[in-house]
């Protein structure tokens, strides 16, 4: 089965921890039908409600 792909909004303080490698997992409510092997793209979402480009 082909893995799914999910883009997830992530607040800057959590994104920084993922980016640096300090945070290696994420717990979320399964509202998107996540499956083992899916690919996740974390996008930094700023406090002014826009993507930062990271």
Share of the chain above pLDDT 90, in %: 30
The confidence score (pLDDT) of residue 32 equals: 87
Beta-bridge partners for 5: 39
Closest Cα to residue 23, out of 10, 32, 14, 36? 14
**What is the spatial distance between Cα 35 and Cα 15, in angstroms, rounded to a whole number?**
22
Q: pLDDT over 70 for what percent of the chain?
A: 100
pLDDT in tens, 21-40: 999 887 878 888 999 999 99
The pair phi, psi for residue 27, each rounded to 5°, is -105, 130
Q: How many CB atoms lie within 10 A of CB 20?
A: 8
Pick 48 or 16 by higher pLDDT. Answer: 16
The pLDDT score that the predictor gives to residue 54 is: 77
Question: Where are any strands of DSSP class E within 1-54?
Answer: 5-10, 39-44
């Amino acid at each position: 089965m082909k893995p799914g792909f999910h883009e997830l909004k992530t607040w800057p303080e959590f994104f920084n921890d993922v980016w640096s490698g300090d945070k290696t997992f994420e717990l979320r409510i399964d509202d998107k039908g996540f499956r083992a092997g899916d690919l996740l793209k974390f996008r930094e979402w700023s406090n002014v409600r826009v993507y930062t480009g990271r």
